[in-house]
């Protein structure tokens, strides 16, 4: 006998005249006999099965307030009444588990944070180090990228896992859609800060090397991380020294008016006020990148970042 449920065809074969077979509906086995089916909310008429087991329902939303990164945000907890249909995705609500609280963050709505059993502490234990971001800031030509590479090399030699987010390198991929207008420079910093945060959560020592001229943007990156996970390193090299080096020829172009809004020339650089580490020339002598890297490594070692 062919039994139709909605658009699905099911075949039932009775075992005998006095015995009703069972038919499968999804993962539920339902008796084909009408007397038992009615008790479960099914009505069998001929070859047609009608059900009142799942009433027509409609989602309703109840507003709640949650806190995301220290800010309040409206959120919605799905609920149901009997006036509309329920979609297949909502059957998860019948598992006996509570429906997750959804939230709004920026332009993203109806999102849920999915927590996994392997956490940051587990990854740090595996790597035998503490995840953190070492944010190297300073003028163009101050030696940020060179020191970042020396630092990565020094930590690698100690068996520590690092990754460098260089300002120019990131603009070759993730941030290639951004220019150097004020709003795009701010977005550049924000994106790098978010990527750095992911590396930190992975237990990696992330070295971010970029001018990042404004305190507000650097402080925002710091605020997005747990206390102690953001280490600001200021390359305190005077403008005249950076301009004399001019490794990319950018100062020359800026002085000629061919580059507008260049940090240190016609756009300001705001030096850090409370950076964890300051690297500067020693009595007019230029320390080597490895010397600077050793200063940072000593700080990490002393403060427990090089062990789980």
Question: Catalytic residue numbers?
Answer: 212
Residues 265/251, Cβ–Cβ less than 8 Å: yes
3-state DSSP assignment of residue 184:
helix
What residues contact 71, with CB distance under 8 A and at least 6 apart?
Answer: none
Return d(Cα 190, Cα 178) in angstroms, integer: 12
Q: Which segments of 26-110 does DSSP mark as H helices, in order?
A: 34-39
Calculate the alpha carbon distances from 33 to 12, 37, 39, 215 in Å: 11, 6, 11, 75
Q: What's the chain's Rg over C-alpha atoms?
A: 31
Beta bridge partners of 79: 60
Q: Which segments of 61-163 does DSSP mark as H helices, in order?
A: 120-127, 144-157
What residues contact 103, with CB distance under 8 A and at least 6 apart?
Answer: 66, 68, 73, 74, 75, 111, 112, 113
Neighbours of 296 (CB within 10 A): 23
- As to burial, measured by CB atoms within 10 angstroms (0-12 exposed, 13-18 middle, 19+ buried), residue 241 is middle
Q: Specify the residue for token string 């009775």.
A: 14
């Amino acid at each position: 006998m062919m039994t139709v449920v909605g658009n699905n065809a099911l075949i039932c074969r009775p075992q005998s005249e006095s015995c009703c077979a069972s038919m499968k509906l999804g993962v539920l086995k339902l008796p084909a006999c009408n007397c038992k089916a009615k008790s479960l909310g099914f009505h069998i008429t001929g070859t047609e099965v009608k059900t009142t087991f799942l009433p027509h329902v409609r989602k309703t939303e109840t507003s709640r307030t949650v806190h995301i990164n220290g800010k309040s945000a409206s959120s919605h907890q799905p609920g149901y009444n009997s006036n509309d249909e329920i979609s297949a995705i909502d059957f998860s609500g019948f598992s006996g588990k509570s429906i997750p609280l959804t939230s709004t963050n920026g332009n993203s709505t109806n999102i849920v944070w999915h927590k996994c059993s392997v956490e940051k502490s587990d990854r740090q234990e595996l790597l035998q180090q503490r995840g953190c971001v070492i944010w190297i800031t300073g003028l163009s030509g101050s030696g940020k990228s060179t020191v970042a590479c020396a630092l990565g090399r020094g930590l690698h030699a100690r068996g520590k896992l690092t990754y460098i987010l260089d300002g120019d390198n990131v603009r070759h991929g993730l941030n290639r859609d951004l220019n150097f207008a004020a709003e795009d420079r701010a977005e550049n910093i924000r994106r790098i800060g978010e990527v750095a945060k992911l590396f930190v959560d992975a237990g990696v020592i992330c070295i971010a090397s970029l001018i990042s001229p404004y305190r507000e943007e650097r402080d925002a990156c710091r605020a997005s991380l747990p206390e102690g996970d953001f280490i600001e390193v200021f390359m305190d090299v005077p403008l005249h020294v950076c301009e004399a080096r001019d490794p990319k020829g950018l100062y020359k172009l800026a002085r000629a008016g061919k580059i507008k809004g260049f940090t240190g020339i016609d756009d300001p650089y705001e030096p850090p006020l409370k950076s964890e580490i300051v690297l500067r020339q020693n009595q007019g002598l230029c320390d080597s990148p490895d010397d600077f890297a050793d200063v940072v490594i000593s700080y990490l070692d002393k403060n427990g970042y090089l062990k789980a």
